[in-house]
């Protein structure tokens, strides 16, 4: 493997001609796999070792590895490391037509899941019920549905979403204001590209979700930032345009925005003729009391666009979300959507609509709240028992991740945040560095640790392995 790596990076990684180091590293590893330099089953270097070898930030290596894992080129084995996958996505595209080849290996529930922070309890998803709903929906396809071209999406699904949001989140809307999107990143792109005036900014929370930053950059619209304090997003001081905020559960810090801050933001929007995109991040998963009312409901749907996704309530690959648009913006966003990706695919919408109409969606959410609350409690107890020499646990009664901040002893040890994240990741725990969510200001350090997708009986062993990894790295 040493020779393989030496061959792969015989030229400086920095010679990337404007391409980011993460993209260059991703392309080099992928090319090495496809060219046969990195063989099937080969173990890649640990992220820390490779970062040191190449003289780059460890987060750059982690991001490249994670993307390759998601694409199927690499796979992880708990406690063993990262390996070249036996079956690569390109294998499906290079087979000769009509060639008698063996079918690809099917990934089943027995396969080790890829752990990411903020994942829901995928083991609790009712696969058979979803399959029946999807099958029934597809069997009902007719000519009208096959020609379905509504830029807003399938009307019965939009009606079910509107009814659910009105009942659970006090959102003020009709189905005619609901637009189906593939996710909030696409939603932000469609919205900002179609409704913002010249000289307006997209205003993001700092710290915040890097996916929103990527979507904002794709628009070409100027980006500015507003700070986050214990009450959530602060009122922007020098910018106007479209503020993206998550008042119910701020990502990554987990703060809930109180009523007076919400009123202050709405007042700012009125005074500056601005809009607010309410990213209702993890709003379904509040474990102490009922979910909070939406900012859009307080506003009455005039200046606040409510956005949500089914990635956390169902599963990430469902790739479906929604925007609830103020009435006066619907036609503008719809016209832009018609000129870009036209309309959302129908089959997934039919399946989700059948799942919601049957009442199974509401049942699933209630079940997840109980499972997530239990797993959060178990994780929190284990963290306090086993990881207290290294981390202080920030209290939380919502969401899908816990925030671990370093103790004074850990900071003095000189062991960097990347190593903390690696210690969790190699223990089979979804983890992201807190500093990675900062873009403009001096970053804070910590670990965003996922808990919801950890099977109950594996929580304590995984955190014990995390502890052993930290002990090995720190020496205490």
Q: What is the DSSP string of 269-301?
A: HHHHT-EEEEE-TTTT-BSSSSPPPPHHHHHTS
The predicted pLDDT at position 8 comes to 59
170 & 251 share domain: yes
C-alpha 200/C-alpha 463 separation (Å) is 46
300 & 400 share domain: no
DSSP β-bridge partners for residue 76: 82
285 & 245 share domain: yes
What average pLDDT is seen over the chain?
86
The predicted pLDDT at position 154 comes to 96
The predicted pLDDT at position 9 comes to 56
347 within domain boundaries: no
The predicted pLDDT at position 155 comes to 96
Total domain count, the chain: 3
pLDDT band at 152 (very low <50, low <70, confident <90, very high): very high
Between the two ends of the chain, the Cα-to-Cα distance in Å is 32
327 & 408 share domain: no
C-alpha 95/C-alpha 209 separation (Å) is 39
The predicted pLDDT at position 43 comes to 86
125 within domain boundaries: no
DSSP β-bridge partners for residue 471: none
The predicted pLDDT at position 49 comes to 83
168 & 289 share domain: yes
Last residue of one domain, picked from the residues 275, 308, 342: 342
Q: How many helices (H) and strands (E) does the chain have?
A: 18, 14
Query: Closest by alpha carbon to 452, among 118, 111, 126, 112?
Result: 118
118 within domain boundaries: no
350 within domain boundaries: no
What percentage of the chain carries pLDDT values higher than 70? Answer: 88
Task: Say if CB 55 and CB 12 are below 8 A apart.
Answer: no
Encode pLDDT of 72-113 as tens digits: 778 877 667 888 887 655 443 333 333 444 444 333 333 333
168 & 44 share domain: no
C-alpha 179/C-alpha 168 separation (Å) is 18
CATH value at residue 382: 3.90.1150.10
Q: Is the pLDDT of residue 219 over 80?
A: yes
333 & 369 share domain: no
379 & 419 share domain: yes
| DSSP of 151-209 | TT--HHHHHHHHHHHHHHH-----GGGEEEES-HHHHHHHHHHHHPPTT-EEEEEES--
pTM of the model: 0.76
Query: Closest by alpha carbon to 176, among 197, 159, 196, 199?
Result: 159
CATH value at residue 157: 3.40.640.10
Please give the residue that has the higher pLDDT: either 57 or 206: 206
The predicted pLDDT at position 89 comes to 52
The predicted pLDDT at position 4 comes to 53
158 & 101 share domain: no
Please give the residue that has the higher pLDDT: either 445 or 238: 445
Please give the residue that has the higher pLDDT: either 139 or 434: 434
357 within domain boundaries: no
139 within domain boundaries: no
CATH value at residue 49: 1.10.10.10
Encode pLDDT of 397-437 as tens digits: 888 999 999 999 999 999 999 999 999 989 999 999 999 99
354 within domain boundaries: no
The number of C-alpha atoms within 13 Å of 8 and in the hemisphere containing its C-beta is 26
**How long is the chain?**
476
Mean pLDDT of 284-296: 79
205 & 76 share domain: no
Q: Is the pLDDT of residue 382 over 70?
A: yes
Query: CA distances (Å), 309 to each of 215, 313, 384, in order?
Result: 15, 8, 32
Tokens representing residue 5 in the block:
């790596």
If one counts every other C-beta atom within 10 angstroms of the C-beta of residue 471, the result is 14
| DSSP of 235-275 | PPSS--EEEEE-SSS-TTT-----HHHHHHHHHHHHHHT-E
Encode pLDDT of 337-347 as tens digits: 999 888 998 99
Last residue of one domain, picked from the residues 57, 90, 112: 112
104 & 160 share domain: no
45 within domain boundaries: yes
The predicted pLDDT at position 18 comes to 56
The predicted pLDDT at position 208 comes to 94
Last residue of one domain, picked from the residues 312, 342, 372: 342
86 & 160 share domain: no
The predicted pLDDT at position 91 comes to 47
Question: What DSSP designation does 221 have?
Answer: -
Domain residues for the domain of 75 are: 2-112
The predicted pLDDT at position 15 comes to 52
């Amino acid at each position: 493997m040493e020779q393989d790596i030496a061959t792969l990076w015989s030229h400086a990684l920095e010679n990337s001609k404007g391409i980011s180091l993460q993209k260059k590293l991703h392309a080099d590893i992928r090319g090495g796999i496809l060219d046969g330099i990195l063989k099937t089953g080969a173990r890649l270097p640990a992220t820390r070792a490779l970062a040191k070898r190449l003289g780059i930030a460890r987060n750059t290596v982690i991001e490249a590895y994670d993307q390759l894992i998601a694409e199927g080129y690499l796979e992880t084995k708990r406690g063993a490391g990262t390996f070249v996958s036996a079956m690569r996505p390109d294998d499906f595209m290079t087979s000769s037509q009509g060639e008698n080849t063996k079918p690809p290996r099917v990934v089943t529930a027995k396969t080790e899941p890829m752990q990411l922070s903020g994942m829901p309890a995928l083991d609790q998803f009712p696969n058979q019920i979803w399959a029946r709903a999807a099958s029934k929906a597809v069997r009902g396809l007719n000519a009208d549905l096959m020609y379905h071209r509504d830029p807003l999406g399938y009307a019965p699904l939009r009606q079910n979403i509107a009814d659910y949001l009105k009942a659970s989140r006090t959102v003020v809307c009709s189905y005619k204001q609901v637009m189906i999107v593939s996710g909030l990143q696409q939603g932000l792109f469609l919205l900002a590209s179609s409704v913002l005036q010249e000289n307006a900014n997209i205003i993001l929370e700092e710290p915040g979700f890097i996916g929103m930053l990527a979507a904002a950059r794709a628009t070409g619209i100027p980006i500015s930032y507003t700070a986050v304090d214990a009450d959530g997003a602060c009122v922007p001081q020098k910018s106007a345009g479209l503020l993206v905020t998550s008042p119910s559960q701020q990502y990554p810090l987990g703060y809930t925005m109180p009523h007076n801050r919400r009123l202050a933001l709405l007042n700012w929007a009125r005074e500056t003729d601005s809009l607010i995109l309410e990213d209702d991040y993890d709003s379904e998963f509040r474990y102490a009391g009922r979910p909070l009312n939406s900012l859009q409901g307080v506003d009455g749907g005039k200046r606040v666009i409510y956005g949500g996704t089914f990635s956390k309530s169902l599963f990430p690959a469902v790739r479906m979300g929604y925007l609830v648009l103020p009435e006066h913006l619907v036609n503008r966003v719809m016209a832009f959507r018609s000129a870009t990706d036209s309309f959302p695919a129908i089959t997934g919408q039919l399946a989700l609509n059948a799942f919601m109409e049957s009442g199974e969606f509401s049942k699933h959410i209630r079940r997840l709240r109980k499972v997530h609350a239990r797993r959060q409690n178990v994780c929190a107890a284990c963290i306090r028992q086993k990881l207290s020499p290294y981390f202080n646990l920030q209290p939380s009664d919502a969401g899908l991740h816990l925030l671990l901040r370093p103790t004074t002893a850990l900071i003095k040890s000189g062991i960097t945040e990347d190593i903390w994240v690696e210690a969790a990741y190699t223990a089979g725990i979804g983890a992201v560095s807190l500093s990675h969510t900062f873009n403009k200001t001096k970053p804070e350090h910590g670990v965003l640790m996922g808990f919801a997708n950890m099977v109950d009986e594996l929580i304590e062993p995984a955190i014990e392995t995390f502890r052993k990894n930290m002990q090995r790295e720190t020496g205490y």
